[in-house]
Structure 1
Amino acid sequence: MATRTVVKSVLSRAQPEGDGATVRRSIGSPMLRNLDPFLLLDEVFVELPAGFPDHPHRGFETVTYMIDGSFEHEDFTGRKGRIDSGDIQWMRAGRGILHAEMPAEGTKVNHGLQLWVNLPKRAKMAEPLYQEHTSAELPWADLPNAAGRVKVIAGDAFGVKAKVDTVTPMMYQHFFVEDGKAFDIPILSTFTAFIYVLTGHATFGATKVRGEAHTTLVLGSDGDALTVETEPGIKCDFVVIAGEPIGEPIIQHGPFVMTTRDEIIETIRDFQFGRNGFENAVNWHSSIGDRRRVKW
């Protein structure tokens, strides 16, 4: 397998988001706008009373991966839920969701990743759908060379297939690598791919680019694998996310992502007037958002 090179490195900077929350944003920032099919990646740090009160989405998916802590979720259909450490929520907003995401009562600083995945035009107005899996339900695979383990969230890794179904082919994997190890990760050369380093550091790719914590490394399309090496005494955990590009125009207005400006204008009107998927949005307020709303 030919190993891919790292073509861009972006250190995510802390910034305010939602209501009093702090995120480290890489994809979606001025340094790295859209990475088709990925729209946004936030590393989230939040504790009550901060959070993400009532806000809408249309035209894409939100993927919330809880690394530590607990978040509660509530939407305008009456659905309520909670994700705890290690759990995943894959939410297809489709034609419309109005929801709130807030730290659970009694938790300290809650830490996780939120990824926005674009939907192709054919699926943007589909009915909303949730895929939720607890940490215990998510499969794991052993790495070559006794290098560690990987949690398989989407796609497949080293013979283990994830439970999540995706609209377009993609992979989302969380690697926990021991110190002083080297191995290759297969990644289709046709996939847009990046790494986000959470803790420790390692070198990645053909030219051995060093990846530090809170850094996004974008991979070139010059190979079908990624070489990873850790130093003696230094462990590293990171996610690898990759997906097949959609190749359609991306027109974004805050939490709405469509393919034309006219569709965005229609989406804003639909939300304002409570129609075409936003019927339940009229006069709805979540209980967990303390009856506060984000105004878009």
Structure 2
Amino acid sequence: MSTMTTQTMTTQTMTIERILTAMPASDGDGVKLHRIVGPEGMRGLDPFLLLDDFSAETADEAIAGFPAHPHRGFETVTYMLEGGMLHEDHLGHRGLILAGGVQWMTAGRGVIHSEMPRQDGGRMHGLQLWINLPAKDKLIAPAYRHLPAEVIPAANLANGVQVKVIAGVFADGETPITGAARGIATDPLYLDVRLPVGAALEVPIPEGYRALVYLIGGQLEVSGQRLAARQMAVLGTGEGIGLEAAEAGARALVLAARPLGEPVAHYGPFVMNTQEEIGRAIQDYERGCLAA
């Protein structure tokens, strides 16, 4: 593309293994969303499990939200782009996350929580990512991180590109920026990247890490291949991701993490290593001791 203000790739560009497209779905109390990973996509995406892109044009559309429900064995990362979401759980954690903020919840041995929209009017738009926990951490004590927009650092680059660093480290020249969420088992990189028309960016990825790019909106080329909005590029071998914004500019998530290489057993809100562990999670929940 002749209009690109391209950077010279100093690393081997990662190839694209496949492109996934979000499919309409609903969850919670009928909240409409687009799901782009889900159970069938778990294979080959280790340690990522699921990505939901949920939205509502008015407060009335989203009012039902996600009433109290359980989780065990993984982490949920809720990132609000517009509107707000109130998190409450059985441990007494409570946080209202507004646009630009993140709720990072480690379910561990068990959490029962709710996620309810909180806005007076206007649009709600958010993303929820599920990241697996290693077997040794699946029954750890649950934890909750409330990360409002003001604690999430950002790099504003000379070519107009903005990179918000939610987790991991983004290096712009000699000034690395460390994300707000730290001490995560899979060492994730979670970036919100905005590229104006004609801008380009190279994102280095640690060797052996699984990397994904999800296009929130606009037009984007990933490693030379065009994505449409609500599509995800699953990256393969290489050392970095090349991003180039097309005619409309682009906003995308860049995700990477250390694979666990462990078996995955999944049933609804539970992600364990074996079916026997799933059975115990269900029994614990039915007995009221999932989160004891």
Normalization by structure 1: what TM-score? 0.88
Q: What letter corresponds to residue 164 of structure 2 in structure 1?
A: K
- 2:166 corresponds in structure 1 to 153
- Shift of the alpha carbon at 1:241? 0.5
In structure 1, the partner of 2:154 is 140
Range 87-96 or range 233-242, more displaced: 233-242
Matched residue, 2:48? 38
**What do the CA deviations read for 1:10-69 (whole angstroms, capped 9, x no partner)?**
110221211120111111154x23410011000011443321111100000000000000
State the alpha-carbon separation in 2 of the partners of residues 105 and 120 from structure 1.
Answer: 36
Equivalence for 2:198: 180
Match of residue 291 from structure 1: none
How far does residue 108 in structure 1 lie from its aligned partner after superposition? 3.6
Q: State whether residues 100 and 149 of structure 2, in contact with CA within 8 Å, keep that contact through their aligned partners in structure 1.
A: yes
Q: 1:193-215, CA deviations, whole angstroms, 9 ceiling, x for partnerless residues?
A: 1100011011111xx11011111
Verify: 1:220 aligned to 2:236, yes or no: yes
**Once superposed, what is the RMSD of the aligned Cα atoms?**
1.4
Structure 2 distance, partners of 1:120, 1:22, is 31
- For residue 145 of structure 2, what is the amino acid of its counterpart? Q
Output the amino acid matched with 1:243. A
Q: Contact 1:48 / 1:105 at 8 angstroms: preserved in 2?
A: no
Aligned counterparts of 1:256 and 1:37: Cα–Cα separation in 2: 15
Q: Does residue 180 of structure 2 align to residue 170 of structure 1?
A: no
1:239-250 matched pairs, under 5 angstroms: 239-250=253-264
- Aligned residue for 1:235, secondary structure, equals strand
Matching residue within 92, 108, 122 for 2:106 = 92
Runs of 5+ consecutive residues of structure 2 not aligned to the other structure: 1-10
Query: Does 1:115 find its partner at 2:129?
Result: yes
Of all paired residues, the percent bearing the same amino acid is 39
Query: What amino acid maps onto 2:132 in structure 1?
Result: N
Give the Cα–Cα distance (whole angstroms) in 2 for the partners of residues 150 and 15 of structure 1.
29
Q: Secondary structure at the match of 2:38?
A: coil
Residue 291 of structure 2 corresponds to residue 278 of structure 1: yes
Deviations 1:259-281 (A, max 9, x none): 11111111111111122x524xx
State the AA in 2 paired with 1:261: Q
3-state SS, counterpart of residue 22 of structure 1: strand
Counterpart of 2:126, as a letter, is G
Tell me how far apart the structure 2 counterparts of residues 104 and 29 of structure 1 sit (CA, whole Å): 29
Distance 1:218 1:160 in 2: 24
Q: Structure 1 residue runs of 4+, over 6 Å off?
A: none
Partners of 1:147 and 1:218 lie apart in 2 by: 26
Kindly provide the amino acid, as one letter, of the partner of residue 209 in structure 1: Q
SS class of match (1:86): coil
TM-score by length of 2: 0.89
In the alignment, the residues of structure 1 paired with residue 249 and residue 201 of structure 2 have an alpha-carbon distance, to the nearest angstrom, of 14
Q: Structure 1, unaligned stretches of length 5 or more?
A: 280-296
Inter-partner Cα distance in structure 2 for 1:62 and 1:132: 12
Cα distance, 1:209–1:78 mapped onto 2, change above 3 Å: same
Q: Does 1:7 align with 2:23?
A: no
Question: Match for residue 270 of structure 2?
Answer: 256
Whether the 8 Å contact between 1:204 and 1:210 is mirrored in structure 2 is: yes
Q: Who is 2:7 aligned against?
A: none
Say if 1:196 and 1:238, in contact at 8 Å, map to a contact too.
yes
Residue 193 of structure 2 aligns to which amino acid in structure 1? F
Q: Following the alignment from structure 2 to structure 1, what is the Cα–Cα distance between the partners of residues 119 and 100?
A: 18
Cα pair 2:42 2:48 within 8 Å, conserved:
no
CA distance in 2, matches of 1:21, 1:185: 34
Please tell me whether residue 56 in structure 1 is matched to residue 70 in structure 2. Answer: yes
> Bigger CA drift: 119-128 or 11-20?
11-20
Q: CA deviation at 1:243?
A: 0.5
Paired residues, what number?
272
Cα distance in 2, alignment partners of residues 56 and 262 from structure 1: 18
**Residue 230 of structure 1: which of 230, 235, 245 is its match?**
245
